Amino acid sequence: MAETLAVIGGGVVGLNVALALQHEGFAVTIYDRDEATGAAHRGASHRNAGGFAFSDIFPLASPGIMARAPGWLLDPLGPLAIRPGHALALVPWLWRFWRATRPERYRAGVAAQTALMTHSQAALERQLQVIGGRELISAQGQLQVYEGAASFAASSAEWDLRREHGVAFDLLDSPEQIADIQPGLSPRFTHAGFTDGWINTIDPARWMAHLRAAFLRAGGEIAAAGVQAVKPGEADIILETTQGEHRGDRAVITAGAWSHRLTAGLGDRLPLETERGYNTTLPPGAFDLRTQLTFSEHGFVVSRIGEGLRVGGAVELGGLELAPNFRRSKALLQRAKRFMPALKTDGGAQWMGFRPTLPDSLPVIDHASATDRIVYAFGHGHLGLTQAAGTAEIVADLMLGRDPGLLMAPFRTARFG
Ligand SMILES: Cc1cc2nc3c(=O)[nH]c(=O)nc-3n(C[C@H](O)[C@H](O)[C@H](O)COP(=O)(O)OP(=O)(O)OC[C@H]3O[C@@H](n4cnc5c(N)ncnc54)[C@H](O)[C@@H]3O)c2cc1C
């Protein structure tokens, strides 16, 4: 009989992990407390920007960010905000974040992120071959725009690093060149980097539905249950859930921004926070968008979602309990209107999502210290969609005692002491 495996959390990471372990012959059940609520998912995966951002190899914790942060923080609706009600709880995480900005740690972070990206890009291709879904992927590149030569020059080290790590791109230095790729932007954007190979899913919700259907088709089960605790048994694992106690052979914790609540019970105290992100999805006809647009200095992106488009981003360090501040979605939309004057901003639907994030911007992919029967996979921050297929293959390797083929130390729990 097949070994049973519980996946706790059915976001994009959980679904990918479930598929990968099902492929290895496990009888997999996903436990998700939002399963019963249908569309009202609290997780980050259903309404994100949809970018497979394989060229985004830079940890948020970067040299220089601490100098820029106070300026951003002065604007309560700017790209980075700390909610006063969460500020005190955030101090230990911020301290670790600051330490991760040291140049040598940053360089190591870029190398680790690049390795996971390379692995994830290949894993996505393998996944497409197994379960299909190519019709849900669009390849229109990504245009990252800058206002003036000085702000472009400030980003040149990042473009150099991308080149060093094998990312292909073109640099543009006039509004005319930019307009050839994306007409209709304000002429204040004079410089840009265009990453031709960038891909998006046409809609993260449809991507999730596709993964879920493939999992169910292959005999997977989804339980509408919240997991309150995961415990190692003698030769199995025990889940305490809102639907009673369940036993199984193995488990993977993929509960996004809530994962640390479960790992703490297993003796692994991890500094997981959430970078809350906001967006607005606009109906068809809002703008003739030709590529994904990234306004990095302003902390937001614009991507095509179905026939409409989605404007969003920003980072709000506000924990898991405080109510969303949708003035943030509105502020991003107003800014987008300034940058894309023909943008029609009516009829949008707002959303806030919890990015799960560790202070060094790298996920945890590791065994629980209490038992090899439990594996953790969470903390993908801005990149969970991008890294989910690669993470899932690594989890399968860890479960089966195989070498994942990349240096795992940067993703271990032990890096947090
Ligand atoms: C505005 C925004 C834009 C983004 N854009 C992109 C992008 O373009 N590209 C990209 O790669 N990434 C993007 N991201 C990040 C990406 O969405 C996340 O990294 C990813 O969705 C995290 O997936 P996850 O499966 O770890 O967590 P989630 O999607 O949050 O899923 C976790 C699930 O676990 C469930 N759960 C939690 N605790 C329990 C429990 N105790 N018992 C049972 N179930 C539980 C939750 O209800 C949830 O369904 C974006 C995020 C935001 C907010």
pTM of the model: 0.97
* Per-domain residue ranges of the chain: 4-45+205-271+360-416, 62-101+135-200+273-357
Ligand 1 probe mutation, 8, 199, 228, 258, most atoms within 8 A of CB: 258
Structure-token pair, residue 194? 């265009």
Structure-token pair, residue 387? 């890294």
Q: Whose CA is nearest to atom 21 of ligand 1?
A: 45
Helical pair 12-23 and 103-131, crossing angle rounded to 10 deg: 60
Ligand 1 probe mutation, 317, 380, 391, most atoms within 8 A of CB: 380
Q: How far is ligand 1, taken at its centre, from the CA of residue 44, in Å?
A: 3
Pocket of ligand 1 (CB under 6 A): 8-14, 31-34, 41-45, 48-51, 53, 226-227, 254-258, 262, 277, 279, 312-313, 353-356, 378, 380-386
What are the start-end ranges of the H helices in 234-296? 259-264
- What is the rounded distance in angstroms from the CA atom of residue 185 to the CA atom of residue 337? 10
Closest by CA to 368, choosing from 254, 289, 258, 280, is 254
Burial class of residue 374 (count of CB atoms within 10 Å of its CB; 0-12, 13-18, 19+): buried
- What is the rounded distance in angstroms from the CA atom of residue 17 to the CA atom of residue 9? 10
pLDDT in tens, the chain (417 residues): 899 999 999 999 999 999 999 999 999 999 999 887 654 567 899 999 999 999 999 998 888 888 777 777 777 778 889 998 999 999 999 999 999 999 999 999 999 999 999 999 999 999 999 999 999 999 999 999 999 999 999 999 889 989 988 899 999 999 999 999 999 999 999 999 999 999 999 999 999 999 999 999 999 999 999 999 999 999 999 999 999 999 999 999 999 999 999 999 999 999 999 999 999 999 999 999 999 999 988 999 999 999 999 999 999 999 999 999 999 999 999 999 999 999 999 999 999 999 999 999 999 999 999 999 999 999 999 999 999 999 999 999 999 999 999 999 999 999 998
Ligand 1 probe mutation, 33, 58, 240, most atoms within 8 A of CB: 33
Q: Whose CA is nearest to atom 35 of ligand 1?
A: 9
Q: Domain spanning 4-45+205-271+360-416 has what CATH number?
A: 3.50.50.60
Architecture of the 62-101+135-200+273-357 domain: 2-Layer Sandwich (3.30)
CB atoms within 10 A of CB 1: 4
Q: How far is ligand 1, taken at its centre, from the CA of residue 354, in Å?
A: 6
Identity at 325, one-letter amino acid code: N
Q: Give the atom of ligand 1 at the shortest distance from the alpha carbon of 241.
A: 42
- What is the rounded distance in angstroms from the CA atom of residue 69 to the CA atom of residue 82? 11
Q: How far is ligand 1, taken at its centre, from the CA of residue 11, in Å?
A: 5
Helix/strand number for the chain, H first, E second: 11, 21
Q: Give the atom of ligand 1 at the shortest distance from the alpha carbon of 259.
A: 38
